[in-house]
Amino acid sequence: MSTVIDGKALAETLRSRIKQAVSELQAEHNIVPGLAVVLVGENPASQVYVRSKARQTVEVGMQSFEHRLPENTSESDLVQLIKELNQEPQVNGILVQLPLPAQINSEHIINTINVNKDVDGFHVENTGRLSIGSDSLIPCTPAGCLILLKRTIGDIAGQNAIIIGRSNIVGKPVAQLLLKEHCTVTIAHSRTRDLSSTCRQADIVIAAVGVPEMVKGDWIKPRATVIDVGINRITDNSGKSKLVGDVDYASASEVAGAITPVPGGVGPMTIACLLQNTIIATCRQRQIKLPEAIS
């Protein structure tokens, strides 16, 4: 049986360091970082995420600003709000909850956010900086995956990693991060041929696909480290609704050296990394050093 990578516990440790960092910023610079979260429409999953982000922001001592807009909001009205938040000194981080309604171009909205307040790390300039290996605000879920990996394995240089999924928000940035850490990276997607045997070569498997329990135990190299980003709601045989990942946990945990559960693996790390990004953004904007607690 493999080691279970406890993302919940690790996220809790990270949040307590963030809380300490917020206290340091307040004591030494009289700054209370602020995070603005913008939600357009009534998507139930998005509402849950936004509530959770706001609650955890306040719990670590930061200011939370919530902006809820109706489903029929126009792109120009949303652009106007982002421009106001860009100018607001108490707002150090801006997150626009995705997906946005169809009438709004997400790329345009993301690129309207001030690049130094882009705590999701999706702005084209942050994406570009990440791809050339320079300093950037790093997308939260990929940052969480990297922390989990390093806590589990230590130095990951030279390891063969496969990332299954090539989205802009998970797959591609994870690949860039692992490349920066000197892994040999394979990015797989829906057109990849013979995915299972390519996967079996990997020391590190990151699954970010959105297909419930797709990655089976016989795809996993013995003792490999498996990070399951997927969050899928399914109905089990007894008719109960439950969350599962993109990895078939039962069979994969028989083979892997270490594996993240769903829930309780990558998910909790995502919000912790968002809070950390808000502190990093604050320090960049004020041109001060990162607090000891998170540096």
Q: List residues with catalytic annotation.
A: 53, 97, 120
Q: Which of 120, 166, 203, 278 binds ligand NDP (CB under 6 A)?
A: 166
Longest CA–CA span in the chain (Å) reads 56
Q: Which of 146, 208, 215, 256 binds ligand NDP (CB under 6 A)?
A: 208
* Tokens standing for residue 175: 């690949």
The minimum distance between CB 191 and ligand NDP, in angstroms, equals 5
Choose the binding region for ligand NDP from 66-74, 117-125, 167-175, 249-257 (rule: CB under 6 A): 167-175
Residue 210 lies near ligand NDP (rule: CB under 6 A):
yes
Q: Which of 171, 173, 261, 291 binds ligand NDP (CB under 6 A)?
A: 171
The minimum distance between CB 144 and ligand NDP, in angstroms, equals 7
Residue 173 lies near ligand NDP (rule: CB under 6 A):
no
The minimum distance between CB 265 and ligand NDP, in angstroms, equals 8
Q: Name the residue number minimizing CB distance to ligand NDP.
A: 167
Give yes or no for a contact between 13 and 24, defined as CB atoms under 8 angstroms apart: no
What single-letter DSSP state applies at residue 118?
B
* Tokens standing for residue 33: 């970082």
Give yes or no for a contact between 162 and 199, defined as CB atoms under 8 angstroms apart: yes
The Cα–Cα gap between 134 and 155 comes to 20
Give yes or no for a contact between 10 and 151, defined as CB atoms under 8 angstroms apart: yes
Closer to ligand NDP by Cβ: residue 189 or 242: 189
The Cα–Cα gap between 105 and 91 comes to 23
Other beta carbons less than 10 A from residue 74's beta carbon: 12
Q: How many residues bind ligand NDP (CB under 6 A)?
A: 26
Choose the binding region for ligand NDP from 55-63, 85-93, 119-127, 187-195 (rule: CB under 6 A): 187-195
What single-letter DSSP state applies at residue 162?
E
The minimum distance between CB 233 and ligand NDP, in angstroms, equals 9
Residue 64 lies near ligand NDP (rule: CB under 6 A):
no
Pairs from 68-77 (Cβ < 8 Å, separation ≥ 24): 68/39, 69/38, 69/39, 69/40, 69/41, 70/40, 70/41, 71/40, 71/41, 71/42, 71/101, 72/101, 72/103, 73/40, 73/41, 73/101, 73/104, 74/103, 74/104, 75/103, 75/104, 75/105, 75/108, 75/109
Residue 56 lies near ligand NDP (rule: CB under 6 A):
no
Q: Which of 105, 190, 196, 295 binds ligand NDP (CB under 6 A)?
A: 190
Residue 20 lies near ligand NDP (rule: CB under 6 A):
no
Site string for ligand NDP, 84-123 (x = CB under 6 A): ----------------------------------------
Q: Which positions touch ligand NDP (CB under 6 A)?
A: 141, 164-167, 169-171, 188-192, 195, 208-211, 229-232, 246, 266-267, 270
